[in-house]
Chain A
Amino acid sequence: MSKTAIHLDNISLRFGSQALFTNLTLDIEDKKITAIQGRSGSGKSSLLQVINGLIQPDQGSVFHFGEQMNYHNIYKTRMNIGYAVQQVGLFPHLTVYENITLPGRLAHWTPEENDTRARELMALVSLDEHHKQKYPHQISGGEQQRVGICRSIFLNPRILLLDESFSSLDEETKEEIHTEVIKLQQMEPRCIVMVTHDPKEAGKLGDHRIKLDQGQLYHMQS
């Protein structure tokens, strides 16, 4: 049996009067890409935020590698989970290089460690070194998304969450980035959970595919 990275145990979550999930239980395999599909409003993004603790469920527990999430010491947990969102969320006042290395600075890495890791990651996702000193608004959408991915896996987290990360990109750029993600997964395999509304993307990247509908999970044939 393959190793479980994330275990959701009997999770219930409601927003106001609307129940998003009821008694939801899920195991997500390590070192694989799990794609969660669903219509907008189905709760896909909320599910990701339950995984990294941005949302605390009303009921149930979250386990990472067998360890139950402790909401009192959430900062440490979050640092070990990469998180990339559709709007990318690069900090406009920081350069590309500063954005990528920010997690390293927060984790008190040395400048040398930061530099080595940044070079390694930029090469991995085919980001030109020239962009280092540029600000986010000075590079293309695809490049911004690559920067976002570099930043989210800077500390080499064992889990990476991708929230519609590529959906605003044009087809060609999307193709390129998909290739980078696959390459990345070969170099640094980790548990990736991606949320997408695009079945094609889910089919291409997902080792496992799950459909979220009306708060229920349906495992799909991959």
Chain B
Amino acid sequence: MRTILLLLLSVVGMSKTIAQTYRIGAKHFNEGYILGELIAQIIESEGYKVERKFNLGGTAVCFEALRNQAIDVYPEYTGSLAEEILKSKESLDHQQLNNKLRIEMGLEISPSFGFNNTYAIATKKDFAVKYDLQTISDLRQLPSLSLAFSYEFLERQDGWANLKSSYQLGFTPVGIEHGLAYQALMNGSIDMTDVYSTDGEITKYDLKVLKDDLNFFPDYQAVAVYNASLDTRIKKIISRLESTITEEEMQSMNAQVVFENESFYVVARNFLIDKGLVEDSMVTEERSVLSEVVSKSITHLWLCGIALMTAILVAVPLGVLLYFFSGISRPVLYFVGLLQTIPSIALLALMIPLFGIGIFPAIVALFLYALLPILRNTTTGLYSVDPVLKKVATGMGMNAWQQLRWVELPLAMPSLLAGIRTAAVITIGTATLAAFIGAGGLGEFIVTGLALNNIQLILQGAIPAAILAILIEMLFEGFEHLLLPKHLRKN
């Protein structure tokens, strides 16, 4: 099974190398997308083909993807590389970081894009004025404080625990989802929270960012990270972004996307044109929504198709085997049923350490999900064949194989087809989650839409996925008409 998949994937992989497409990854958040677009468009402006592999879960997923050659470049922050990837205890400057990455991992980083997106502590302006707060050290004079921090900030090495001891602060914070922290801050539920220094909300809500007077937070310079073996021409093109973006400019780009519903593509293009980094006409046209929906639907169907086909090829013979050896049937069905109970997002996450990111692990996960309905319906269908018919078949002199071919399988067919149909619909639905591990498909719209709280984007993925599910249902109804006489059809 795996061999077939690998074969299919390698065919796809080959077509990629021939076309010399550069695959740009991006982390699953606002700024990640914008920086990904900037890199993608500046490469495209030189006539190279680019494939966007945005929506990758987080630093770990992006990094795995890069090391497994599933992507060629993605935007990252120097601090994250030092802390999360190299697990470095001391701070590293750009040069040291680049050397360490090259030696230890065969990776390189571009020059900094110019801004520092570090953690910062923010509060409302009137609160800062009231207590005369300028720096984080100023917090020591406050008797009490209602603090809420993102869960990540509470956990990280460069997060709360060490900040607290460095500044000798005595407060006890609670955890909060980063997206909700601004609302909580503005309606007065909390006094202070952690922010990223380039968040668009800082300008929008006119927040006060406290100065990190002890230089606790490491530098989070935005850079591009790529394999050292990347074409030097591409590296040169990316380095043209060096020192072109200020913190305010990044805040403004973020705000355009989050508050003005501008697309990443347009925000990035306008920025590049304003800075004279690309000529207006040289940037390829943004693809229409329709063509994107179509191309993502095709990827989606492709993912589901391979997973389903493989599942049929495995589950039907296995179902027949279980029918003949009914002793092992129960344990096997229990085991496959157990797979079904793993939440899809967890199953997808479990695939990463085994198979990395991208299409292959997604197909494996979808395959595992499709197994149970097909397997169970195959065996149930075979078991429910009328014993009289089996007796007659034996009496006619049919051997086991002939009985299977002429009597049992045809009579189990309605149940078997129903199982495949269920599996197909489950697969179409579950495949929308595969975007989290970079498999693409309609889920990309949904995942991006969720990250931006953009209903239109979510629907752009959800509606075609629902239509696909209905079309698949109809397709299978067609199969049933072809394969089964009317009185044996289930509906």
**Distance in Å: Cβ of B391 to nearest Cβ of chain A:** 7
* Residue pair B487, A92 in contact (C-beta under 8 Å): yes
Chain A residues within 8 Å of B, Cβ to Cβ: 52, 54, 74-81, 83, 85, 87, 89, 91-94, 102-103, 106, 135, 137, 151
Is the C-beta of B397 less than 8 angstroms from some C-beta in chain A? yes
* Residue pair A106, B395 in contact (C-beta under 8 Å): no
Contact with A along B230-247 (1 / 0, CB 8 A): 000000000000000000
Which residues of A sit under 8 angstroms from B397, Cβ to Cβ?
Answer: 74-80, 103, 106
Residue of A nearest to B405 (CB): A106
* Residue pair A75, B398 in contact (C-beta under 8 Å): yes
**Distance in Å: Cβ of B319 to nearest Cβ of chain A:** 18
Question: Counting chain B CB atoms within 10 Å of each CB, which of A75, A76, A81 scores highest?
Answer: A75
Which residues of B sit under 8 angstroms from A87, Cβ to Cβ?
Answer: 388
Residue of A nearest to B402 (CB): A106
Interchain CB contact (< 8 A) of B394 among A54, A80, A102, A103: A54
Tell me the bound Cα distance from A87 to B388 in angstroms.
Answer: 7
Tell me the bound Cα distance from A92 to B397 in angstroms.
Answer: 19
Tell me the bound Cα distance from A49 to B272 in angstroms.
Answer: 87
Tell me the bound Cα distance from A137 to B411 in angstroms.
Answer: 15
Which residues of B sit under 8 angstroms from A80, Cβ to Cβ?
Answer: 397
Question: Which residues of chain B from 364 to 410 have a CB within 8 Å of any chain A CB?
Answer: 386, 388-389, 391-392, 394-399, 402, 406-407, 410
Question: Which residues of chain B from 393 to 446 have a CB within 8 Å of any chain A CB?
Answer: 394-399, 402, 406-407, 410-411, 413
Considering only CB atoms and an 8 Å cut-off, how many residues of chain B contact the other chain?
21
Classify the secondary structure of B's interface with A. Answer: helix
A85-B388 contact given A54-B395, A93-B485, CB 8 Å threshold: yes
**Distance in Å: Cβ of B466 to nearest Cβ of chain A:** 34
Which residues of A sit under 8 angstroms from B407, Cβ to Cβ?
Answer: 91
Tell me the bound Cα distance from A79 to B398 in angstroms.
Answer: 8
Interchain CB contact (< 8 A) of B388 among A79, A89, A93: A89
* Residue pair B402, A83 in contact (C-beta under 8 Å): no
Is the C-beta of B488 less than 8 angstroms from some C-beta in chain A? yes
Those 3 A-B pairs whose CB atoms lie nearest each other, nearest first: A89-B392, A78-B397, A79-B397
22 contacts between A and B (CB under 8 A): A54-B391, A54-B394, A54-B395, A75-B397, A75-B398, A75-B399, A78-B396, A79-B397, A83-B392, A85-B391, A87-B388, A91-B389, A91-B406, A92-B411, A92-B487, A92-B488, A93-B411, A103-B396, A106-B398, A135-B485, A137-B487, A151-B396
Interchain CB contact (< 8 A) of B391 among A81, A89, A106: A89
Tell me the bound Cα distance from A75 to B395 in angstroms.
Answer: 9
- Apart from A79-B396, A85-B392, A151-B396: 5 A-B pairs, beta carbons within 8 A: A75-B399, A78-B396, A83-B392, A93-B411, A93-B413
Which residues of A sit under 8 angstroms from B389, Cβ to Cβ?
Answer: 89, 91
